[in-house]
Structure 1
Amino acid sequence: MIAEVEADRPDLRMNDGACDRAGRFWAGTMALDERPCAGALYRLDGGGRVETMVRAVTISNGIDWTLDDRRMYYIDSPTQSVDIFDFDVASGAITNRRPFVWIPPADGVPDGLTVDADGGVWVSLWNGSAVHRYSPDGTLDRVVRLPVTHPTSCAFGGAELRDLYITTASIALDARERERQPHAGGLFRCRPGPAGRAPYRFRG
């Protein structure tokens, strides 16, 4: 075991995570019953030290960085917002949190995200049957539609990182909805145009 987080809190679980350029691992928690503000965002350094970076999180989700590593994207799903922080790659500090894009509830709930090689931000939309791509200035410029309700996250892979892989869930679907969505819970792949970039690895 590398490290423990909230080992005395069986009512919480880990959720999404990602590594920054310096090899630190970031991951957040959420309550099993999804009650508000019970979770947090943590940073695990290569030496095994864990630091709390954001408190009062409800459903910690997508994390990634801009191409210049000067800003960090972060999603706490019930806020309906993809937020952005100023990021110091040397120290791992985050400051100046503000909205990057706000997702209308009718479009779904922001879940996992990834950043492509052009700086575009791909956001999976739970209950939205889609993945949205936002340009670095926050403009919605591409939509990938899916035949299932609950996309959960996305990542690039395959030859030259040209394939976008999209995970989905079948949880919360009743029997009738499962019949209508036989591929719910499956892994989807598409070639949306922009290529991805190789993820950073943990240095620990």
Structure 2
Amino acid sequence: MDSAPGTVNPAERNDDAMRFLLTRRSRPPKTLTGPAPDRAALQEILTVAARVPDHGKLEPWRFVVLERPALERLAGAAAEYARAQAIPDDMAAKGVGQFAQSPLCVAVIAVPRPTDKVPAIEQTLSVGAACTQLVNAALAAGWGAGWLSGWVSHDPGFAAPAFGLAPGEWIAGLVHIGTQTVAPPERPRPDLNQIVTWVDA
């Protein structure tokens, strides 16, 4: 029996998924600790992260998984770079801390593809979708996860050698994943009355 117009077949509705999406909450990376997902568990999460809208099937993103030894190395490199560039102490500490405190981090790299068929902005939006999907997949799998950026992402002098960026590539996000120590309180959410316009004619 077909559903009435404007309704969905109850058999096709995924209440668990809707409940998760309505209540999902990123975990502040500074509240995460070990253990982090092992490679097998992370492989599943990354598979979900790569399952996003991608006009032209260009795959304008790639993932760099930073495990603890790499994070410790990057913490030292960030501290050295910050001193050499006279980055203010508080700002430097935030960048260094991302690596020093993280149990595991996935750098989402934007990989713009040269094509006349897919505008650059659509590729960028796909990269953002991959970041969001990565966070949500980690949360759905029972881990804590949060998406950060900061100067260690945006300063090309540091980011290019640190993450092995090719020309034209850039860091879309650093997604930290681990075991949550505290559940963050709910925060105010957008008022749909202020951001939704209904157009019926």
Per the normalisation by structure 2, the TM-score is 0.23
Bigger Rg, structure 1 or 2: 2
Per the normalisation by structure 1, the TM-score is 0.23
Which of the two has greater helix per residue?
Answer: 2
